[in-house]
Chains A and B, each alone.
Chain A
């Protein structure tokens, strides 16, 4: 499970390189996310633009990652394709997360705020 991390001010962008977050990958994803959210900026955006497939195991792993980040940090999502969005919608977990169309939508706002 390949996760890359980049900090922009009070924002940490975590990019998933793998194209699947499924049952086989869920535990490794959680472990990697714990490593990347143990400390650092209070706002984390998880970029899922490379992820073509996510099932309920993957969804559970993302929820676990949000819990791991703790009450002082916010985990948001970006770049969900229609398949991944559908899984969040069917489970109503799209009501629990802040979901951005893509990472650019987040960073552009930061630039505007100067």
Chain B
């Protein structure tokens, strides 16, 4: 499809689908915010497999913010910006919490699971999941806030035939 021709014929065709959400930094608020994000993801017509990937990545990102950026902090705010660009859903997630340790995204643990029952891990899975499913993961600290950027590849995109 010739994008320029399409826009000339349909000047009211919507430009890049974008959603912006502000959430409080607690588990119930992030659950609600994630639901709103997923409503938008469904409304713009993404496939079920893609929706499942988006939901788990965002859940892990938000859980990390709540758990680590706001250890004792009642005023935590998280901003999510999501926009559809070609075959990717591109995210920016900002929070006003404490910086990431060493201002770097954790690698993600590779747990040894050949251990006795009582030594099995109950946590530390989040960054591994995020790194497996998201691309172009970047972090920076700017203006006293954490800024996390990443994008999720889509199997189908409503913007492309």
* B1 CB-CB contact with A under 8 Å: no
CB distance from A101 to the nearest CB of B (A): 19
- The chain A residue with its CB closest to the CB of B58 is A55
5 further interface pairs, Cβ-Cβ under 8 Å (given A66-B120, A91-B125, A92-B113)? A23-B66, A55-B63, A63-B122, A66-B117, A92-B111
**CB-based contact B27/A23 at 8 Å:** yes
15 contacting pairs across A/B (C-beta < 8 A): A22-B31, A23-B66, A23-B67, A53-B55, A53-B59, A55-B60, A56-B125, A56-B126, A60-B122, A60-B125, A67-B122, A71-B117, A83-B56, A90-B132, A93-B125
Q: Which residues of B contact A23 (CB under 8 A)?
A: 27, 30-31, 59, 63, 66-67
Interface SS of chain B: helix
- Per-position 1/0 for B44-85, Cβ under 8 A of A: 000000001001100110010011000000000000000000
**CB-based contact A87/B123 at 8 Å:** no
CB distance from A75 to the nearest CB of B (A): 10
**B: interface residue count bin:** 20 to 34
- Per-position 1/0 for A36-65, Cβ under 8 A of B: 000000000000000001011101110110
Q: Which residues of A contact B126 (CB under 8 A)?
A: 56
Q: Which residues of B contact A24 (CB under 8 A)?
A: 27-28, 30-31
How many A-B pairs have beta carbons closer than 8 Å: the answer is: 71
Q: Which residues of B contact A92 (CB under 8 A)?
A: 111, 113
Q: Which residues of B contact A57 (CB under 8 A)?
A: 63, 123
* B128 CB-CB contact with A under 8 Å: yes
**CB-based contact B56/A87 at 8 Å:** yes
Q: Residues of B with Cβ closer than 8 Å to A?
A: 27-28, 30-31, 52, 55-56, 59-60, 63, 66-67, 111, 113, 117-118, 120-123, 125-126, 128-129, 132-133
CB distance from A81 to the nearest CB of B (A): 9
- The chain A residue with its CB closest to the CB of B57 is A55
Q: How many residues on A have C-beta within 8 angstroms of the other chain's C-beta atoms?
A: 26
